[in-house]
């Protein structure tokens, strides 16, 4: 069964450093998402991406964040200058074409900013 994959599974970084989180969505999907979950809290929407551009972003997704789909398979989330409060689990998700349907989530990247 196709699945969303994410790398790395864990990342530890120093405050102020740049991190890139990588995702490979399901191959025929068209909608891509990043969500995050701070420890013990609910999953929060960050950004949606469709047709090679951001279609919606949340208040959390400020200028420090960016997304890219550099080729036909990868979908990346970059945090330019990490803050302590960026420590969280980051999930990538993808959805197929058509009206509302299942979003498939990757296993997540646990980011720890020291």
Partner 1 sequence: SQQGEEDPQALSIQEGENATMNCSYKTSINNLQWYRQNSGRGLVHLILIRSNEREKHSGRLRVTLDTSKKSSSLLITASRAADTASYFCATESGGSNYKLTFGKGTLLTVNP
* Rounded distance between C-alpha atoms, residue 79 and residue 29, angstroms: 24
Given candidates 7, 11, 22, 44, which one binds partner 1 under the rule CB under 8 A? Answer: 44
Residue 106 binds partner 1, judged by CB under 8 A: yes
Strands (E), 2-103: 5-7, 10-13, 19-24, 31-37, 43-50, 53-57, 65-68, 75-79, 88-95
Residue 75 binds partner 1, judged by CB under 8 A: no
Residue 8 binds partner 1, judged by CB under 8 A: no
**Site for partner 1, rule CB under 8 A:** 31, 33, 35, 41-45, 48, 50, 55-56, 89, 91, 93, 95, 99-108, 110
């Amino acid at each position: 069964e196709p699945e969303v994959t994410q790398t790395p599974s864990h990342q530890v970084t120093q405050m102020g450093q740049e991190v890139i989180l990588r995702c490979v969505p399901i191959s025929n999907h068209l909608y891509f998402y990043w969500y995050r979950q701070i420890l013990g809290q609910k999953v929060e929407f960050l950004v949606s991406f469709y047709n090679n551009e951001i279609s919606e972003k949340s208040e959390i997704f400020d200028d420090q964040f960016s997304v890219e789909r550099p080729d036909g398979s990868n979908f990346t989330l970059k945090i330019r200058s990490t803050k302590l409060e960026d420590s969280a689990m980051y999930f990538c998700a993808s959805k197929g074409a058509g009206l509302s349907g299942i979003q498939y989530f990757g296993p997540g990247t646990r980011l720890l900013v020291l």
